[in-house]
Amino acid sequence: MKKIFAILSLLLAFSISANAQETAPNPNKAANADLAKLTQFIPLGETAKKNLVDAFYNKNKALTQPLTAEDKSIVKTQIENELSSNLSQEQLQKLKSNTKLYEALLN
């Protein structure tokens, strides 16, 4: 009886552990989703897409860890810099006019 109880408790522990790993956010998928949202609103060249998906990956990877408010501000500034360096002035103004999308990309 003790062996059955031990086996059942181990089975439960492993299933909870596996479920927790499945729900962890994937920075790569989130980066591609961010890029997809942006490209639906603003057409981008291949170089800009590559640079921005890398920036979004770094942002989403950083956000999977606990960050201070200062660290979050640094990540937000990095994304703003990447957007401004990869988008034209007109594209950047168009993006900033859509505040919901702009904030979603920064946070």
The pair of three-digit structure tokens given for residue 23, joined into one six-digit string: 């729900």
**Model confidence over 60-78: pLDDT tens digits?**
999 888 889 999 999 999 9
Q: How far, in Å, are 16, 38, 65, 75, 90 from residue 62 at the CA level?
A: 25, 20, 6, 8, 29
- 0.75 exceeded by the pTM? no
Tokens of 15: 């299933």
**What is the rounded average pLDDT for all residues in the chain?**
86
